[in-house]
Structure 1
C-alpha cells in the first residue's frame, strides 16, 4: 500500500532575522529550546535518512514506491537545509552547540556502517514516532505556537505537514524489502529514543547557558513538556505494533489539508508564514 498522490517537494527558502531570540516563544523558554534541540539534529538525522532510502531504492521494482521515495528524499532535503540556516543563527548565541553537532555527526557516521536493514528499520521507526508528534503539534498549535515568533513556528509546522504527506514511505520501503516484525519494532524504539537523546544534547546546553538548567521551576516545566512529548508520541508508536497496521489508515488532521490548499494558492516566491497572533493559527498565510 503506497501513497496514491504525488508527494510535492516545496523548496521553501525560509529566512530568519539575524537577531532572532532563540527563546522564540517568550512564555515557553523550555519548549523553545526543546524545539531548537530538535532542529539542531535535523542536518545530521535527515541526510542519514536520505542516504538510507536512496540505497534501498536500488532494490525496489514498484514504480509507485520509487516515486514516493523520490518525493521523500526531496522533502527531507528541503527540511534539513532550512533547519541548518536557523541552527547557524542559534550557534552565534550558543557556540557550545558545535560540540553537540560533533557528537551527532559521529553517531550517524557510525550508523552508516550498519546493515541496510538496521538503517531502514531506524528510518521507518523514527518516521512512525514523528506521526504522533505531528498530530500533537498541529492539534495543540494554539497552546504551543500562538504568540510565538512566526518564522520558527511556520518552519516547524510546515515540516510537520510534509511529515504527514510522506508518512507511508519509509514503512512501505521497509515492508517491501524486509517486512519482519521484530526488526521493525526494534527500529521504532532505537530511532525514536536516539533522536530524542540527540535533541536533549542541544537543549541541555542552551538551558545551561541561559541559567535555567539548575532552576527547579524551569526543570519541572521542561519535564512536563518532555512528558507531553512522549504521551503524544506513544500512541503512534504503539498502534504501529498492532497487526494490520499501516500509516495510511491513520486519519490526518484536517489542518494539514488546509495548509496544503493555502500553499497552492500562495503567490510564487512568498514564504508561507502563519499568523501566530491569531490564537487559532489558521491555515492561511500572513502578509
Structure 2
C-alpha cells in the first residue's frame, strides 16, 4: 500500500493545503427529444464540436472510473481513497448524463456516430489493458487539459453560449464546474501510486491529444451529416473555434508539463467558486438542476 498519512485523518500533498472536498451531485438534466443539435443558434459549428466531445465522454469517463477505482485499492491514505471514490461517483454522473444527451442526438439522424462509438469502445478497452501507471498518467494528463478548458468556457460563457439552449448550456457548465472541483484527484492518485515526472509528462500529451482526436472524429461525423463539413465557410469556422480552444486550454497543458506541477497552484475561476457555493446553499436534492439564463448579459450562476 502506498500513500501519505496525515494526523487527524486529513491529507496533504507536496506541502500544499488539504485536498478540496468533492460533492457528488445528481445530474438532474432532462433533454427533450426535440433538443436541437445546433443548440447554439449563432454558432452551429461550435455546438457540434461540443456535441462531438460529449460523444467521447461515455467511453472516456468509464475508463477513468475503472482506472482510479483500481488505483484506490493501492492507496493507504484514507483521504485520498475517499477523494478517488468521490471522483468516480462524479464521473459516473457525468457520463450517464452525456449518454442521455447523446441518445437524443442519435435519434435525430446522426446514426453515423454509432460506428465511431464502436471504435472508441474498442480503443478504451485496449487502453484498459495497459499498465496502471500508464493509465493513471493518461487520466492525470486529460484532467490537466480540462482545467484550461473550464476556464475558457466559463470566462467566455456570454459570448459562447448567448441565447443557447439553457438545458444544454447548464449541463455543459455543470460538468466543467465539477471538473474543476476534482482537479487534484487524478494527479494526487498518480503521485501516490506511480510517481515520476517523465511518465506523467507523456501522459499529459497522451491524454489530452487522444481525447482531442476522438472529439474531432465525432464532430466531423456530425458536421458531415449536417452537410457542413465540406463547406469552406463552415470549415473555416471549425478551424477558428479549434484555434480558440487551443489558445484557451493550451496554457494549462503546458503548465502541467513543468516538473513539480501541482494543480493546487491553479486558481479556480470566480464563477466556478460562486456556482459551488450557491449549490451548497440551495436545497436541491432530488430536484432538477436550475438552469442558467442564457439571455442574460452576465449569465450569473443559477442559484
Partner of 1:271: 289
Write the distance in 2 (CA, Å) between the matches of 1:43 and 1:6. 24
Deviations 1:209-254 (A, max 9, x none): 1111111110000001011111111110111122332101111001
Partner of 1:245: 261
Partner of 1:229: 245
1:13 Cα deviation from its structure 2 partner? 2.1
Write the distance in 1 (CA, Å) between the matches of 2:279 and 2:83. 20
The correspondence of residues 122-271 of structure 1 with structure 2, limited to 5 A, is 122-268=138-284, 269-271=287-289
Write the distance in 2 (CA, Å) between the matches of 1:243 and 1:100. 36
**1:129–1:233 Cα contact (<8 Å) kept:** yes
1:6 Cα deviation from its structure 2 partner? 2.3
1:42 pairs with 2:57: yes
Deviations 1:191-225 (A, max 9, x none): 11110111112111111111111111100000010
Partner of 2:3: none
Counterpart of 1:64 (choices 79, 84, 97) is 79
Partner of 1:18: 33
**Structure 1 stretches of 4+ moved >6 Å:** none
Write the distance in 2 (CA, Å) between the matches of 1:167 and 1:266. 23
Aligned in 2, Cα 1:3/1:15: closer, same or farther, shift over 3 Å? farther
**1:46–1:77 Cα contact (<8 Å) kept:** yes
**2:65–2:91 Cα contact (<8 Å) kept:** yes
**2:147–2:249 Cα contact (<8 Å) kept:** yes
RMSD across aligned C-alpha pairs, in angstroms? Answer: 1.2
SS at match of 1:30: helix
Partner of 2:299: 281
TM-score after normalising by structure 2: 0.91
**2:74–2:193 Cα contact (<8 Å) kept:** yes
**1:129–1:234 Cα contact (<8 Å) kept:** yes
Write the distance in 1 (CA, Å) between the matches of 2:18 and 2:223. 41
Write the distance in 2 (CA, Å) between the matches of 1:6 and 1:251. 15
1:158 Cα deviation from its structure 2 partner? 0.3
1:3 Cα deviation from its structure 2 partner? 4.5
**1:118–1:183 Cα contact (<8 Å) kept:** yes
TM-score after normalising by structure 1: 0.96
Counterpart of 1:120 (choices 109, 125, 136) is 136
Deviations 1:26-68 (A, max 9, x none): 1101100000000001000000000000111111001111111
Write the distance in 2 (CA, Å) between the matches of 1:200 and 1:243. 30
